[in-house]
Copies of this chain bind each other. A is one copy, B any other.
Amino acid sequence: MTYLSNDPATFAEDALAGFCELHADTVRRVPGGAVRRSRPSRPKVAVLPGGGSGHYPAFYGVIGPGLADGAVSGNLFTSPSAQDAVSVARAAHSGAGVVFSYGNYAGDVMNFGLATERLRAQGIRAENVVVTDDIASAERPAERRGIAGDFTVFKVMGAAAEEGMDLDEVVRVGRKANDATRTIGAAFAGCTFPGADAPLFTVPDGHMGLGLGIHGEPGLRDVPRTAARELAADFVRRVLAEKPAGAGDRIAVLLNGLGSVKHEELFVLWADVSRLLRESGHTLVLPEVGELVTSLDMAGVSLTVTWLDDELERLWTAPAWTPAFRRGAIAADSGEEAVAEVTDDAPRFAEASAESRQVAGAVLDGLRAVRKALREAESELGAIDAVAGDGDHGRGMVRGIDAAVTAAEAAWHQGAGAGDVLAAAGDEWAARAGGTSGVLWGAGLRAAGEVIGDGVIDAVAAVDAFAERVMSLGGAEPGDKTLVDALVPFRERLASGTWAQAAAAAEDAARVTADLVPRKGRARPLAERSVGTPDPGAVSLALIARAVSEYLREGTR
């Protein structure tokens, strides 16, 4: 359970605010996360871990000398938006580039990827180091999720940046640390969101979910719970079986508690884990036992091993001084106080032609029509989503379109043309809606806006750009039970027909998704439960297509 909250909707934000208040001497809050209060006295690479909230001390608990320069912080278990990442990066950047680091989750990969593009367009060097340590999540290392191994990778990069390595070098050692890091976890009970009265996921009584992810993602299997000693043996065996080729015998080790498994239990487990690792011929270098990457009040534990070469060992053992992790003696940062004013990412618009201004007005009106339709459909979309999901799809879509219309209005009043109005709407949609669908709609609208530019609307080209962006970012294919199932027939029909015909095609296709089983799902039983119900994302797309179609008919009447 989560017991202390004011408003579940603002829980993550409220927690970040409280944290920044507590550590106001060293940490400064910025839109999208937090950064060190003092700027470095000379340019250094900014190491920026990030991801959804609810994993303290990941990610903002490790901001400080020897570790992170800032952290990008999304809503609970929800990727931060690209705009969040850009905002934090701009505040933390001191001239030597930035590197985002995060676990390998679709939303994070998308958003940090988009932020990286945008920063580069603004002349800021940006790179990404994706953590893939969870051996239970996939056979192929590149497809694995990032869990507690995040910490080792961040620590190594933080020390490298503090040493003065340049961006390429920091990225190199970060990737080397990730390649040398393996984690296996087990969960005993799920966590419960603020305001929710049931856990996000459950583990059968007396069992443990071996390899279950930190958001309840599928693991290896549920097995009966064992004594600590047997779990230790199983963990050590599984991790050592994944020892990287050519690795030596010196290792960094993390025994990590997820939330409700307490220190006393971790110490009991540690007695056997440490013995077995030593008996396997390894030397343990400054092992850590505690809560380093949590999952609210989830009951779970994980073992992480990083095989060290001389360079990694130097970086792993280097001092660090952060709110949640302190090692060795480190000189206080002698840099100047950071500027109080928040650097932001507010769009500046090119001068628009009269014709484009006229079209921009139509785009704005079209967005308002979509807003009306989504508001009316909010509870229906929620109900569809609740069958197999968390029921917040309607809420998320309304949050997205509300923010998009507000941004489009602001852009319109600042004189923006059609493309800029649509792109601004997309950025705010992505920033405010939350969830993967928010990212996709936001990025898709921005892509459509960029195609339109300072011109008139070529609907087919704009929809093509939207579809390309959504499909390449989301990675879904037709038949996966996503909005792509409605998007593809919509786009095809539009290429040779009217908006009304295309909207009808989308509606038909959305209905047919009721027959499908989703290929990606957070919790295993949910995938099957959804059969018989259409995909909420596909339904939303059809609904928006219909709203635009009716607006165009009425608007051109």
Contact = CB atoms under 8 A, between A and B. Distances in A.
Contacts of A229: 6
Contact of A299 (B1, B12, B18, B228): B1
A4 B261 contact: yes
A5 B297 contact: no
Given A21-B271, A22-B287, A271-B14, A264 B3 contact: no
Interface in A1-22: 1-6, 11-12, 14-19, 21-22
Nearest to A231: B4
B3 A297 contact: no
Interface stretch (A37-45, A49-57, A163-171, A527-535): A49-57
A296 interface: yes
Contacts of A326: 326
A326 B319 CA distance: 13
Interface string A274-298: 1000000000000101000010110
A126 B390 CA distance: 60
Contacts of A340: none
Given A18-B269, A269-B18, A262 B56 contact: yes
Contacts of A14: 228, 267-268, 271
Nearest to A290: B324
Contacts of A271: 14, 17-18, 21
A262 B297 contact: yes
By Cβ-Cβ distance, the 10 closest A-B pairs, closest first, are A18-B267, A4-B265, A18-B271, A15-B264, A18-B270, A56-B263, A15-B267, A326-B326, A4-B228, A3-B188
A264 B1 contact: no
Interface of A: 1-6, 11-12, 14-19, 21-22, 53-54, 56-57, 61, 188-189, 208, 225, 227-229, 231, 259-271, 274, 287, 289, 294, 296-297, 299, 301, 326, 329
A328 to B, nearest CB: 10
B260 A260 contact: yes
Contacts of A274: 18, 21-22
A115 to B, nearest CB: 24
Contacts of A265: 2-5, 15
Nearest to A301: B4
Given A3-B299, A188-B3, A229-B6, A18 B262 contact: no
